[in-house]
Each structure stands twice: as structure tokens, then as C-alpha cells.
Amino acid sequence: MFIRLQMMIWETVKEKLEMQIDYWSKNNIQFPRLLAEIRATGSLDPQILADAMGLGSDDIDELFDRAQIEWEDIKQSVWEQTHGTES
């Protein structure tokens, strides 16, 4: 009986862990977070931002890269909507 209860508890915990959202991959969360930390620290230094956000400086570089890629996609989409798909 005890082992069965443990298994039920483990299955519940496992389901909750699997349902956790991967906030790191969500640009709509990370980009405003990055901007807020830039404003709060007054710095663009990756190490200062990393320290403020509890990340590594490589993570900050990744965020800037992701933002650049997303911005390029947005610009391309706007161009296509306003000028057609031929460039």
C-alpha cells in the first residue's frame, strides 16, 4: 500500500514537472526582462547584465542574438506586407 502511494505521488510530481513552462525559450518574456535589466543597471555590459539576471554572459549574448533574429523576421514580414513578397 505504501509503495503504491509513493508511486501515485511520484506520478503527480512527474506530471507537474513535465508541465512546467520553459520560460527561457519564451522571447516574449526574456526580451522585456532584458530591457528592464538594461534600464535598471544602466549598462549594456554582458557580465553586468548576467549578474543582475542570474545568468551567464553567454546567455546574455544568446538573448541579444535571439532578439536580432526576431527583429530581422519582423522587418521582413512588414516589408512583405507593405511591398509584396518580391524584393
Is the pLDDT at 62 greater than 70? The verdict is yes
Grouping H, G, I as helix, E, B as strand and the rest as coil, residue 68 is helix
17: pLDDT strictly greater than 80 = no
Instruction: Reply yes or no on whether the pLDDT at 57 is more than 70.
Output: yes
Q: Are 6 and 13 in contact (CB under 8 A)?
A: no
* CA separation, residue 23 to residues 20, 27, 37 (Å): 9, 8, 17
pLDDT of residue 2: 66
Residue 46: predicted pLDDT: 94
**Of all residues in the chain, what percent are helix, strand and coil, respectively (each to 5)?**
80, 0, 20
Q: Does pTM top 0.85 for this prediction?
A: no
Scan for cell 526580451, then name that residue.
31
Place of cell 505521488: 9
Whole-number average pLDDT of the chain: 87
Q: pLDDT digits over 24-33, tens only? A: 999 999 999 9
